[in-house]
Chains A and B, each alone.
Chain A
Amino acid sequence: MNNWLSVLIFLPIAAALILLLLPKRASNVFRPVTIVISVLQTLIAAYLYAQYLKNPHGYHFVERADWINLNLGTFGRLNIDYFLAVDGLSIGLLLLSAFVMLIAAIASNEIKKDPKAYYTLFLLLSAAIMGVFCALDFFLFYVFYELMLLPMYFLIGMWGGPNREYASIKFFLYTLFGSIFMLLVMIGLYFSVIDPVTGEHTFNMLYMMDAANYTKDSYFSIFSTDALLFHYPVRFLGFIVLFIAFAIKIPTIPLHTWLPDAHVEAPTPVSIILAGVLLKIGGYGIIRICYGIFPEAAIYFSYWIGLIGVVSILYGAFIALASTDLKRMIAYSSISHMGFVILGIASLTSEGVNGAIFQMISHGVLSTMLFYLVGVIYLRVQDREIAAFRGLAQPMPRYTLFVVIAFFASLGLPGLSGFIGEAFTLIGAFKSASVNALLPRGFAILASVGILIGAAYFLWTLQRMFFGAPRFKGAQEWHLKLKDLTATEYLVLIPLALITILLGIFPSILFDASNNTINAWVHETWIHGIANLKSMQSLLKF
């Protein structure tokens, strides 16, 4: 059977349709169905991962079919393919997504309002996420990308906290802002790129990555002699626009302000999906699409991209240090940790990019754990102000154990997954200066300071909230409410903690899958980027 990826995408859609047909009063079926579907998806993704590891080169599980084939008269034909495949870059993220969705489904037991709508949207979101990581046709990617937005908007806007409408519309508009420009670039690319086999325009991303497939006079062609807009090569603008679209998703400074609001208002499982999966689509998009299609612009702007990474690391860390709300602190720590991803990618070294992928997956697991842990106390006392708690370790020792694991993993304690990701993005960033001269060495050193501040805010929070003599804002009433973990909570936290430890001790689990793909990717991005840059500089004289 060779259409596992379609199964992965359409399984939740089919389940969503079934849920829609069920009556509303069958409220105790929705969650189990969702969990079963998520388990199946995780198993399939794990199977695919294991299959991929047998021969970790190139694209696997390729599915390709004509999807939309319209005659547009003078514009020629509109060709959109249903083109799915995964490589070392996406397979790990695919597995992570399936797993995070499973955790989120289990964590959804706190959702009491309108479960039918909730789980239908949940499954729709799950399908869209799988699709984003598998699609290699830009149009198909865009469809899935936009499809994610809708359920997410409702999941925050309907099941969120008191200020949910503001947060959800902010999230929606921010993302839409990015994706509208993405649409423009996508259409521009379509009319520039020719399928070398059929001679027609195509949305195929792999063709877009090869400079030879561009028609000579198109705006995005590197051989064009007049493709300037505002005295800037159009390809550069295309890159910038796409980068902004994905930078909003990651999010980087200064496009990040939707994230804390969305997290603070979103219910726990939605926060988990947001931090665990959605942010990774930004990093994935930058590697696959921005760098893949516009390598010369990536090289040209790498200093600035690296700088954005460093600033995100430090800025996020500082604000996390000043945060008084636990969830907000973790949201800003997410921004800081995703900054390492940007920095690693900008280094354009194999260490840096492998590290970035590792960091994304590690952060996916850790942020899932962190947001779930916040949810645990919020569910008990409806409060998550750091100052409202003191000495939580006494009433909740087991809970504190998991908090310690999650915090130390996040602050980069070796032996846990966060360390490997951070260490290799930084090693890559430092190496960049002597391999390709894209980033100054100071970037790696400055970013390392982020690790120090990371230790400071996590340990400070531990000290203030969990240690010391117990004293709670809610006094005696809270003492009764603050019970240690329940069975469901163990079920969520134990696998997450084990994965963190496993990845920290055996990083080859991920590197074995990504290394070949990334080595080739770095090599090609560099070779093509430099060649394109030379050609464009001689033709456009910018």
Chain B
Amino acid sequence: MKKRGRGMACMWYPIGFTVAANPSAATVKVNTDGTATLLTGTVETGQGALTVLAQIAAETLGLATDDVHVVSGDTDVTPMDTGAIASRTTYVTGNAIVRAAEKARDILFEAAAPLLNVKPEQLEVRDRRIQVLGFPARSVAIDKVVHHSETVLGNPAIGSASYNPPTVDMDPETGQGKPFNTYVYATQIADVEVDDETGEVEILKIVAVHDCGTPINPMLVEGQIQGGISMGVGFALQEEILFEEGRQINPNLTNYIMPTSLDMPDIEVGLVDNYDPTGPFGAKGAGEPTAVPTAACIMNAIYDAVGVRITALPATAERVLTAINEKRAAEQADAA
């Protein structure tokens, strides 16, 4: 008989390395037509990081995402970066990009100030223009300023900067310290159906609500969450490398079972409205944490459905059925 159950799990997860320095550097160049080039040493690993980084550069310069071309991943060309790891790209590389783009922007403010007859501190960028704070009617197109700065003043708008999250080392005896600069939080709730005759678990739905600070690109955060849940589903129910005397016996996709699109539940994503003042435009990160609470909420839903506590992952049908049978045997022994 199929039994329905629901379970939740929440989690916390840090951004960046544990105490260890993990800097990123960036270079931003504004072209004379008002478009820009961003140089970053990180690598696109499929998550959409380069688009998020372009949005951060664009925001700092008052441009649109499409105005920024990103050059990445070449040690001959791009500045150092600790890399696509530890959910750090948006936060750490993003913070470096804000600082680099601000330096390029400051060069443009210096050039624009005399044109607008104000001081550089009185300027802001918006919608591809440099305008006077509090008096937007007085403004000049950014491409005019770049051209003026570069070809008349001889000062091209190029900025480079780096960022490293501040941490405090951990005491070796007690672990007390500040290992990370910020953390994200999340809750996932699973709705499952467990067949108590076969032990098979079907996940009907997962609601996932994540905090990533300001979502720089909500669509890409949603994509990360869906991808993370698929990894979490595999970790929860299916995936396991099996060994015999140190030899892997299922090193192939025939016998190592991963979730396919057919195994994926309905996913409803929510993002918490949050702002981290230490992140670029309030952003933190969204990479790894999306996969963290999935297995836990599924196990709690299995418990809710059939009353068995799975203590060893993955909760394969065999393992769930064994637990159900043990529970029945224990109940019968109690009754007898």
A binds B: no
Residues of chain B at the chain A interface (Cβ within 8 Å)? none
